Structure 1
Amino acid sequence: MCHDDQKSINVDDSPGFYAIDHYGFPRAGADDPVDPEEYYPAYLQSERFQRFGYHTEELRGGFHWVTSAGYDAAFVVTEAGVIAIDAPPTLGENMLAAIEEVTDLPVTHVIYSHWHSDHIGAASVFGPDVEIIAHRITKELLERFPDPKRPVPTTVFDTEFVLEVGGARLELSYKGENHCPGNIFIYAPQQKVLTAVDILSPGSATFMHCDASQNITGWYEAHAQILEYDFDFFVGGHHMHYGTREQVKLCVEYFADILEGATAAVERFGRSDALVDILAGAGDLRTFVGVENWINSMANHTTRHVLEKKTSDGRLWWERLAGVSTQTKYHAYTVLESIRLERPRPDYRLRGENPPAFQT
């Protein structure tokens, strides 16, 4: 389990790596708890996946999920053509191959979940004649930072947009900045499939720092917004699985525990006396080391809270979700910083009171 004192760092002298005996982060090792066995789906071992590097499933009513086992996307087959949702480079032309397996109809529409290249950086494979739909902010960002592999959207919206093609209906919504500005919800009401990218990853913790999200308060708000939808299937943009509602609720529970632990850590270590003790221990001329230890103390406190807490079914998190033993420390840091920066401050220094930790 994680303790407040820092874990020792192993030096890696292998070619291509810098020794990190004094700097940087320790690399995860074999002593970390293994991921739950059920996290790894059977398709990973299939001859087809081993050969081509992708897997696709029809979720319901022409809505298909496609994955490279790291990134995922989707497409909807309609009577008038195909609607593609995202185009990760890790799938690339395999998106076209997956579509061609089930229909001869062309791709007529592409929906961008958001502007990040790891999710739409292969959109050019659909050719120049498709209609590309996205939030207005996504278009503005792609015009500001051009990329020929991410063609600029041709249709934009601000709050709500309904796409109806060949008997299929997709409801697009923007509820404010979360993972990044312009990140949207894509809902297929007929099939009860919700796509919300870079918010939650079914079966696992997200990638570090809450999936590199920019507005953590908005990102947490998106957890509740996801559960407001009536969905049976969830496409999250990452990892090995599409999700069920129960899997999504499990991810929400995990991040609720991180918020709980981070809030307690900020309350405990945010006191002026705690900060003074940590800074004083670093020495007057090593203030940045002291500040680092202050942040580390809060992050370690949060990590211990999460990894040692029994979850709703009595098991620990590493027994239920993949990646928590390595990712929780990063999520802890990000969430506690969002508490300090984005949430209301409990108080402020009064005139003539609470002198600073160091005085000259």
Structure 2
Amino acid sequence: MSCPFAKTASADGVCPMKFDQNRDRQQAGSEDKDKVNHQSDDSGIVAPKCPFGYDSHTFKLGPLSCMLCKALLYESSKCAPCNHKFCKACISHFKDCPLCGADIEKIEPDTDLQVLVDRFINGHARIKRTQVDADTREVKDEQKKVIYGDVSMERGAFLVQQAMMAFHAKNIESAKSRLSLCAEDIREQLKTSGNTTELCSQLGAVLGMLGDCCRAMGSSGSAVTYYEESAEFLSKIPKRDLELVHTLSVSLNKIGDLSYYDGNLQSARSYYTRALDVRRDAVKEHKDASSQTMCIRKGAVTKLKHLRLEVVDLAVSLAKVADVDRSLGNEHVAIQGFQEAIEHLESLKLSSSEAGLEQRRHSVLEFLHSQLAEKQEPVSASTV
């Protein structure tokens, strides 16, 4: 899943989660930050700076981070007798301390440290923008005021980054907690700003991630609820952005997968078909964009890659619908679906720089041909 905050990252569109590149350009390219710096010199207003070294550009490991999952500590716990501290979920898998190698006699909660971590999150990342007139030079009570830039973006990107690190380390509760805070923030903004494209895309992506957390925790019902709400918000956005189309169709397919595994084939087909329609419309709308007119525009290569990915995704959606049709006894319709998917993939021409996508295309093609050759024992397309 792509970063839900990439669209509002900075003046030049650079995503703050890409912390290993373009940092200087991010800092230098923002007129708002130049304005803040100017105010800092003339009016006693200073730009924000995290005392622990965390920021929206680097997300570097800090003193409140778990050394195992690399994210902020969640349910902070200390090993006895060495007193090294980790997330509860992370250290529970060890018998020896991963830092010093000492035998772990017991693991105790470190309430004081967790309170500090929670205060850090609620302070560093939750402080609202100070409402100060840019032309005002007077500072009340002779105290410097702090003006934050796009706090909503920086906080959201920060929380999502922490959640992604925790999720990949299988610390699902930590990831869910951070994403829930992020979703809460965006909902608050929706109340005042309305259903803007940026906010709907951000909330849709975050809700999809929350669905992934619930699914990993074995809570299918909660996962479906999050996926459905994710699809609801993403459906409000014009389908011009292929990344958003991909996110929407993935949410719909995940609901279909859960219905499929529960044996509700009609429901699965309904969601798979909705995802298929979204991808059909996107490919149809953007097909002409791969012409020479598009190729002379800035960013054409990236757009073409997204379009090719969408074609592969379209074939996957066709396979999912066909698989359900076969299970429902509609063999003729299923075969047509598998054949149409093959036609799309065989007509797709990829460059040598797209080895990863070519590998996926080849994998899906193998699956489709196997479905046509082995009609008696079909393999579930929900695994594609």
**Higher relative contact order, chain-length normalized (CA < 8 Å, sep 6+):** 1
- Provide TM-score, normalisation by structure 1: 0.32
- Provide TM-score, normalisation by structure 2: 0.30
Q: Per residue, is there more helix in 1 or in 2?
A: 2
Q: Per residue, is there more strand in 1 or in 2?
A: 1
Q: Max radius of gyration: which structure?
A: 2
